């Protein structure tokens, strides 16, 4: 992965840039000492590191506006950053750029129950929104696994999903409005408390734009009343095919579960050894099905799903009898990554989406590739929406294994696209899959996207080097690099 060549002249202007930023954000708001910059060198994709010229931590929209205006006038690149939990390198700094951190925008500004929305600053954590409204029986639906740390601003930038997005949608489906500062310093408001937009839906366009179009300084999110009850089922199957077929049967029966996850045998074994969630270690595949809603509905649907699973030969069926047990069922799944980290020194995580019906074929091919490359693989899968996370196991200390693992990962992502899927279901393109964009989009497609970028940021100063393959294509394909089990933010549940 190569970033655009840094501009040495800009780096040489560090003193002037830092002084200008300090004029705009006085006090502690500008970090420029080497030791202070270390925490900002990387995000959740810790394989890549870069020290920026400086980090600026504004507190007001006016400051953000002034920073961007000054940077545009002076040709200084800007990388926006929320909590820095991106798994695709979206917040990776540039050697010749400044990082604009939104961590001080951490207030819930308004909760409007009558209109079922909350107005928050972008540095509020995902879970912080729910925390602000749960006493009144509400919650914010999108639930990326890193929700304890990741911020709403980052969620907007990445269009974050979560285990419940099959039923409740991604971030984009749960936003009503935002305040956006353009690279030229102009402040625009998109949407509000009313539904839909007048004119072009720029809110929808900005959501998931990975920090390339503007800096979000305020967000209005939709909040929902909590479901009355949630129940989880564990369903073990003797074959991957029968588990996959059951997922199809559940959807075909008109049931949209709140969560619908699949793990293959290596993932089941790793998670069970780590957590002891009561998973069937001999099953070829495990489904975790969560149903929520009114009690009467859950009772009916649990029975229905159990019947469908039995018809497909499920030989392990367990329904949560309490909220505590439901959480235990999920604990194994949520610990799948650290669990796999215990059985191999290193692993890569992929993030493709495939048409769900192609799952048996794709898993069979991944198993063949695993044999060909001589590297283990464990699969966890958001089965309901077809989002696959194969974990490729390797040891970076054995010469040649890293390269093998990279090639293996490349083959998997190409396979996802070849069967009609996409490069990334939820982690974003960032720097990680940037050079793979050509697998999905031709030059005209990418030109159309880049012209949108130009409408917002004609100087290409906002988060350059991300999303679009600007330099040499590279063989490194989409993955999350984990060395010695050390995922950035190891304490956070992932995926």
- Considering only 32, 125, 159, 217, the residue that binds another protein (CB under 8 A) is 159
- Considering only 204, 238, 278, 345, the residue that binds another protein (CB under 8 A) is 204
- Considering only 354, 407, 488, 492, the residue that binds another protein (CB under 8 A) is 354
Smaller CB separation from another protein, 1 or 181: 181
Contacts of 290 (CB under 8 A, 6+ apart): 163, 164, 230, 231, 232, 233, 257, 258, 259, 260, 326, 330
Query: What angle in degrees, to the nearest 10, is found between the helix axes of 265-275 and 336-343?
Result: 90
- Considering only 441, 470, 471, 483, the residue that binds another protein (CB under 8 A) is 441
- Is 429 among the residues that bind another protein (CB under 8 A)? yes
- Considering only 4, 169, 278, 376, the residue that binds another protein (CB under 8 A) is 169
Fill in the per-residue mask, 208 to 227: x = in contact with another protein (CB under 8 A), - = not in contact: xx---------------xxx
Q: Name the segment binding another protein (CB under 8 A); options: 14-22, 201-209, 326-334, 482-490.
A: 201-209
Query: Residue 31, CB half-sphere, CA atoms under 13 Å: how many?
Result: 18
- Is 64 among the residues that bind another protein (CB under 8 A)? no
Closest CA to 20 of 34, 30, 11, 28: 30
Smaller CB separation from another protein, 137 or 276: 137
Smaller CB separation from another protein, 4 or 204: 204
Phi-psi group of 196: left, alpha or beta (phi > 0 → left; psi -120 to 50 → alpha; rest → beta): left
Q: Least separation, in Å, of the C-beta of 68 and another protein?
A: 13
Please state the φ and ψ torsions of residue 237, each to the nearest 5 degrees.
Answer: -130, 150
Cα–Cα distance measured from residue 148 to residue 162, given in angstroms and rounded to the nearest whole number: 13
Cα–Cα distance measured from residue 344 to residue 333, given in angstroms and rounded to the nearest whole number: 18
- Considering only 135, 195, 324, 371, the residue that binds another protein (CB under 8 A) is 195
- Is 85 among the residues that bind another protein (CB under 8 A)? no
Cα–Cα distance measured from residue 493 to residue 495, given in angstroms and rounded to the nearest whole number: 7
Residue 67, helix vs strand vs coil: helix
Smaller CB separation from another protein, 5 or 114: 114
Q: Rule CB under 8 A: which of 90-119 touch another protein? A: 112-116
Q: Which residues of 251-271 are buried (b: 16+ CB within 10 A; e: fewer)?
A: beeebebbbbbbbbbbbbbbb
Q: Least separation, in Å, of the C-beta of 381 and another protein?
A: 12
- Considering only 19, 23, 189, 486, the residue that binds another protein (CB under 8 A) is 189
- Is 186 among the residues that bind another protein (CB under 8 A)? yes
Smaller CB separation from another protein, 57 or 165: 165
- Considering only 287, 423, 431, 487, the residue that binds another protein (CB under 8 A) is 423
Q: Least separation, in Å, of the C-beta of 126 and another protein?
A: 16
Q: Rule CB under 8 A: which of 246-305 touch another protein? A: 248, 251-256, 293-297, 299-301
- Considering only 80, 97, 409, 428, the residue that binds another protein (CB under 8 A) is 428
Q: Rule CB under 8 A: which of 442-481 touch another protein? A: 444-449, 451-452, 454-456, 467
- Is 325 among the residues that bind another protein (CB under 8 A)? no
- Considering only 5, 200, 371, 472, the residue that binds another protein (CB under 8 A) is 200
Smaller CB separation from another protein, 44 or 52: 44
Task: Evaluate whether 83 touches 154 at the Cβ level (below 8 Å).
Answer: yes
Structure tokens belonging to residue 75: 């040709």
In this structure, is the dihedral angle defined by the CA atoms of residues 468, 472, 474 and 479, taken in order, positive or negative?
Answer: negative
Q: Rule CB under 8 A: which of 114-143 touch another protein? A: 114-116, 137-138
Structure tokens belonging to residue 345: 């020194």
| Host H or E run for residue 451 | helix 443-456
For strand 215-222 and strand 175-181, is the pairing parallel, antiparallel, or unpaired?
antiparallel
Cα–Cα distance measured from residue 373 to residue 397, given in angstroms and rounded to the nearest whole number: 16
């Amino acid at each position: 992965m190569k970033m655009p060549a840094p501009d040495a002249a800009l780096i040489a202007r560090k003193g002037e840039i830092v002084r200008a930023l300090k004029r705009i954000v006085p006090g502690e708001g500008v970090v420029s000492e080497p030791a202070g910059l270390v925490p900002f060198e990387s995000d959740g994709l810790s394989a890549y590191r870069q020290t920026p010229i400086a980090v600026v931590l504004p507190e007001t929209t006016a400051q953000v506006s002034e920073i961007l205006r000054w940077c545009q006038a002076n040709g200084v690149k800007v990388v926006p950053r929320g909590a820095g939990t991106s798994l695709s390198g979206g917040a990776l700094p540039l050697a010749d750029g400044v990082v604009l951190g939104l961590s001080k925008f951490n207030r819930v500004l308004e909760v409007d129950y009558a209109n079922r929305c909350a107005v928050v600053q972008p540095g509020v954590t995902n879970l912080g929104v729910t925390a602000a409204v749960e006493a009144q029986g509400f919650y914010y639906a999108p639930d990326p696994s890193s929700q304890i740390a990741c911020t709403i601003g980052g969620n907007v930038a990445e269009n974050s999903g979560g285990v419940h997005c099959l039923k409740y949608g991604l971030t984009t489906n749960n936003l009503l409005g935002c305040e956006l500062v353009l690279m030229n310093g102009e402040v625009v408001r998109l949407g509000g408390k009313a539904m839909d937009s007048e004119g072009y839906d720029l809110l929808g366009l900005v959501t998931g734009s990975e920090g390339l179009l503007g800096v979000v300084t305020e967000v209005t999110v939709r909040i929902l009343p909590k479901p009355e009850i949630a129940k989880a089922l564990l369903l073990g199957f003797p074959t991957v095919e029968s588990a996959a077929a059951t997922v199809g049967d559940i959807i075909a029966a008109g049931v949209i579960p709140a969560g619908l996850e699949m793990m293959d045998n290596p993932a089941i074994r790793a998670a069970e050894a780590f957590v002891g969630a009561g998973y069937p270690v001999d099953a070829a595949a495990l489904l975790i099905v969560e149903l929520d809603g009114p009690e009467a509905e859950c009772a009916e649907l649990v029975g229905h799903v159990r019947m469908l699973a039995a018809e497909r030969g499920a030989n392990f069926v367990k329904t949560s009898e309490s909220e505590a047990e439901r959480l235990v069922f999920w604990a194994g799944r949520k610990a799948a990554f650290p669990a796999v980290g215990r059985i191999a020194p290193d692993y890569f995580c992929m993030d493709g989406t495939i048409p769900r019906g192609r799952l048996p074929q794709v898993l069979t091919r991944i198993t063949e590739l695993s044999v060909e490359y001589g590297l283990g693989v464990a699969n966890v899968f958001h089965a309901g929406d077809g989002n696959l996370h194969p974990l490729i196991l390797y040891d970076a200390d054995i010469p040649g294994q890293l390269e093998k693992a990279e090639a293996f990962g490349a083959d998997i992502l190409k396979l996802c696209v070849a069967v009609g899927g996409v490069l990334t279901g939820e982690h974003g393109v960032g720097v990680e899959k940037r050079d793979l964009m050509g697998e999905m989009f031709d030059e005209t497609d990418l030109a159309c996207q880049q012209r949108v970028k130009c409408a917002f940021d004609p100087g290409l100063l906002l988060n350059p080097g991300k999303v679009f393959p600007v330099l040499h294509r590279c063989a490194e394909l989409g993955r999350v690099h984990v060395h010695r089990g050390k995922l950035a933010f190891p304490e956070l549940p992932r995926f």
